[in-house]
Amino acid sequence: MRADRLVATLLLMQSRGRVTAAEVAQALEVSVATARRDLEALSTAGIPVYPQPGRGGGWSLVGGARTDLTGLTASEAQALFLLVGSSSGRSADATSALRKLVQALPATFRAEAEAAGRAVLVDPAGWGSSARPRAPWIDELQGAVVRRRQVSLTYAGRAGPSAPVVDPWALVDKGEVWYLVAGTPGGRRTFRLDRIRSLSVLDSPAPRPDGLDVAAIWESVVDEAEQRRSRVAATALTSAFLVGVLRGQFGRHLTELGPAEDGRVRIRVASHTARSVAEKLAGFGAAVEVLEPASVRSELAALGAELVERYAAADP
């Protein structure tokens, strides 16, 4: 995971003083391009890491940071913890390293660094859709979460446009779809970042509930959303090879039920409507055979008839 590499890269620089991208790549068993991107990410984020060009050059930690991580300033420590984030995929070694880094920081801004580490929750299980470009507003909202400042949004939600002022609690990256978990006058609410049309970080402080458990909140959000997304289920037969491909379409809403007598695999897939199930399966043609329910089979037949009507007379 990238979180592990960023921490390991910083500790490697701390022990050696100066490193090249090739040395980092060899030590961490990654490509030179990956090592260079990580070094540049640390530098761009404000960590005291800088390149030295020319013969005998490389990448170094500034000043006392080489031997004592208390050389980090408050903003630099926050930047490091924001980069690493609160990833559910972070290894135990990375977590241990972060804990040691926290203890090495001056008490005056240790709390801010820890808050930065909790600013982003990573949920690697996507919704079953394709990857998306990086969402807007991530940097602004990370800063607002860490500094506990209110945010004014212009938001295009399903219920129509709104312009709330919210208390940002945390960001969530779910399979490259980003969300803001925030407090509002009407209670806790979740906002998708790609639906935010404008954003302004205010100077007013943003209160945060004591004992806030963002992971538990997000689990409840996902459970509620997944229930809405799985109201119609279908049983189907397909090849073992296609099961993995179909899982990319349905995410957690695909369950393997075991082998069929003809050598195919029996699966259960679900979505919010029969039409939605059919649309996700139609592109696989006869490679997926839906056994039930009749509503999904009817939608597949309707989709097939629509395609035949549109394209049967088309020029070859």
Q: What CATH number should be reported for the domain holding residue 77? A: 1.10.10
**Residue 311 and residue 303: Cα distance in Å, rounded?**
12
Q: Kindly give, in sequence order, each residue whose CB lies less than 8 Å from that of residue 294, ignoring residues fewer than 6 positions away.
A: none
CATH of the domain at 251: 3.30.70
Could you tell me which residues are beta bridge partners of residue 80? none
Q: Are residues 9 and 110 in the same domain?
A: yes
**Residue 179 and residue 173: Cα distance in Å, rounded?**
7
Residue 205: inside a domain:
yes
Tokens of 202: 């205010």
Residue range of the domain that includes 13:
2-115
Domain count, the chain: 3
Whole-prediction pTM value? 0.51
Last residue in a domain, options 115, 148, 181: 115
Residue 144: inside a domain:
yes
Per-residue pLDDT of the chain (316 residues; tens, 9 = 90+): 455 677 677 777 776 778 888 988 888 888 888 888 888 877 766 666 777 776 667 888 765 444 345 455 555 555 555 555 544 444 555 555 555 555 555 454 455 555 555 566 766 666 655 555 666 788 788 788 878 899 999 999 877 888 999 999 988 888 778 899 999 999 999 999 989 999 999 999 999 888 888 888 888 888 887 777 778 999 999 999 999 899 888 887 899 999 999 999 999 999 889 999 999 999 999 999 999 999 999 999 999 999 998 888 766 5
Q: Kindly give, in sequence order, each residue whose CB lies less than 8 Å from that of residue 200, ignoring residues fewer than 6 positions away.
A: 151, 152
**Residue 128 and residue 45: Cα distance in Å, rounded?**
31
Question: Where are the alpha helices (H) located in the chain, listed in sequence order?
Answer: 2-16, 21-28, 32-44, 74-84, 92-104, 107-117, 138-147, 214-228, 240-250, 274-282, 294-311
Residue 298: inside a domain:
yes
Q: Are residues 44 and 103 in the same domain?
A: yes
CB 270 within 8 A of CB 230: yes
